[in-house]
Amino acid sequence: MRITDVAVYKWDIPLSEPFRIATMVTDVAPNILVRVTTDEGLVGWGEGSPLHSIVGETQGICLAAAKDLRAFVLGRDPLEIAALSAEMARFLPHNTTTACAFDMAFHDVAAKRAGLPLWRNLGGTRRPLPIDVTISIVSAKEARRAATEIFDAGYDIIKMKLGGEPADDLERVEAVREEVGPGATIRVDANQGWDRIAAVEALQALEEFDVEFCEQPLRAHDLAGLQWVAKQTTIPIMADESLFGPESALELVLHDVVPMFNIKLSKSRGIHYGRQIAAIAEAGGIRCMVGAMVESKLGLTAIAHFATTSPAMRYFDLDTTYGQKEDPVLGGVTVAEGCVHLPDGLGIGAEPDPGWLSRCERVA
């Protein structure tokens, strides 16, 4: 089988409210969409979601890189995923989000060729995935209101974006805990927003509110700091921005930096390398969360398939569509009783709505 065409689209998904974290804010999901067509008539879809302060790519960078990767993979066999992944990594080593979109499309084709849903083709175990819903950086009053809406919608796991002044962060977490009571799970994510002293101050103060874990309290490069902070608090620390590919996963395990990983396909270059990270984590006794950026339901569905493939994956931050104004995707995951449920179709089991796609700019 050979790749006969690759189409690349701007894939902007409007959000209901601005999404604000410690290092950036966006009011639209500035994603890219890739369609791979083969000489056997099979079509694979993939999505990349670049949050620039996390992955170092903007939508413009991803679109430019995708044009080059398009020329690179035309005529190749999309089933040779391991070889293609390694060659794309050598060709464009820093464009993880762009590579993720191509990787998803290749896996979609491979599963369709096998006549299987993607989770089955990856050897996963189909199960409901209990997800959290994220509250971005807002006032304590707004956080309380958002928590009520989330709880009333049937979710009992809340993730809060922190990383500002510790006193302000503490006020917002306290407000949410008061609102939802002891029955809800609260997770926090500082997105590199604190320095070492602020992180310890904040985390020790947050301990009384029964926080399940904290993602990335320090800058990505400060592994020694992460290790030190993890010893100063009873709240487990999870690496996010410090974890990209299997190389960084191996370093984190060998140096015993943190006990938890957040695997995101837009950081790991997609499913192929994401599975390598999960294997390293499993061997090292690391608990993993499968996370996402701001993908549409298409990318989210691929991520959910991936999330079934390792026993190391214990937590699921798969709420990307919760804050999106419109759904441009046919098929895909469903959400019920606070859990994501996989579709029955072949491959990813999701594809763009043709009407929506017709309004998107094709750049290659």
Residues assigned a catalytic role:
161, 189, 215, 240, 264
DSSP three-state, residue 189: strand
Neighbouring CB atoms inside 10 A of 212's CB total 17
User: Is residue 21 within 8 Å of 161, Cβ to Cβ?
Assistant: yes
β-bridge pairing 185-189 and 287-290? unpaired
Phi, psi angles (nearest 5°) of residue 209: -100, 15
39-76 per-residue burial string, b: 16 or more CB within 10 A, e: under 16? eeebbbbbbbbbbbebbebebebbbbbbeebbebbeeb
CB within 8 Å of 226: residues ≥ 6 apart? 217, 218, 237, 239, 242, 257, 258
Q: Helix, strand, or coil here: 79?
A: coil
Nearest C-alpha neighbor of 96 from the set 54, 55, 51, 35: 55
* Cross-strand pairs, 341: 334
Helix, strand or coil, per DSSP, at residue 180: helix
**How would you classify the pairing of strands 185-189 and 157-161?**
parallel
User: In this structure, how many other beta carbons lie within 10 angstroms of the beta carbon of residue 101?
Assistant: 32
Q: How far apart are CA 334 and CA 323, in angstroms?
A: 15
